[in-house]
Amino acid sequence: MFRAALRLLLVCAAAAAAVLLALVLLRWRGLILLPHEANPGQWEVFGVDVSSYQGVVDWPALAGQGVDFAFLKATEGSAMRDARFAANWEGARAAGIRVGAYHFLSYDSPGESQAENFIAAVPAAEDALPPVVDLEFYGPYLESPPEREHVRAILDPLLARLEEHYGVKPILYVTYRSYYRYLLGGGYGDYPIWCSSPTVFPLVPGWDFWQYSHTGVLEGYSGSQSCIDLNIFRGSAARFQQFGLGQAPF
């Protein structure tokens, strides 16, 4: 009995050591990032995403903290526009930060009119990141997600119109829930992916941007939201400079 107990203890110790070693390795490779860890050294390209909740943004201050890119909320549904988008777009570009705009998809209006709302708000700048469609859940859809066919009937014409106007495939912002419910196996493999996955690297294939924190804190904004989302790009600075410039996604 003593030998069996000792053997079990050794097996458990070995398993714990293996898990610890794996966690150390993932952390060393930058595949585990702490929620308040800004501009992580394991990655070359660091960014944020903001909306009117961050209020007035001091973009040179963010650039001074290593921010290379920023996704800015532009629109939502077929009518809503973010009150700070235009100022954020101009301010970030003036500070040397590469910008992209995102649209929060509504399940309650046609994709065509949502696309026109975005196009009316967002300039077609050659050096900008591709437009983003934010595919997640809200309100009653948190508990009762819409059917896949309903979502595709809105999403597909929205993506097609944005690609036609901006000349590049939009980025799809996803959570695990939205990705595996609506995108996996649905013919969206050519679209760049920006995945929300707090702390641990995204467990979805072929992701391009990783939103690793919703609770980052930087200096340089004064809105109702004290936190700011933190992101990295999956690739080198050189690859980032070419990303979305009419070439196939990396």
Catalytic residues: 49, 134, 136
Measure the CA angle with vertex 226, ends 60 and 78; round to 5°: 85
Q: Is there a contact between 68 and 46 (Cβ–Cβ < 8 Å)?
A: yes
- Selection from 98, 100, 211, 103 nearest residue 158 by Cα: 103
Question: Token match 């013919």: residue?
Answer: 187
Cβ atoms 73, 85 nearer than 8 A: yes
Beta strands in the chain (DSSP E): 46-50, 69-76, 80-81, 98-104, 132-135, 171-174, 193-196, 209-216, 228-233
- One-letter identity of residue 184: L
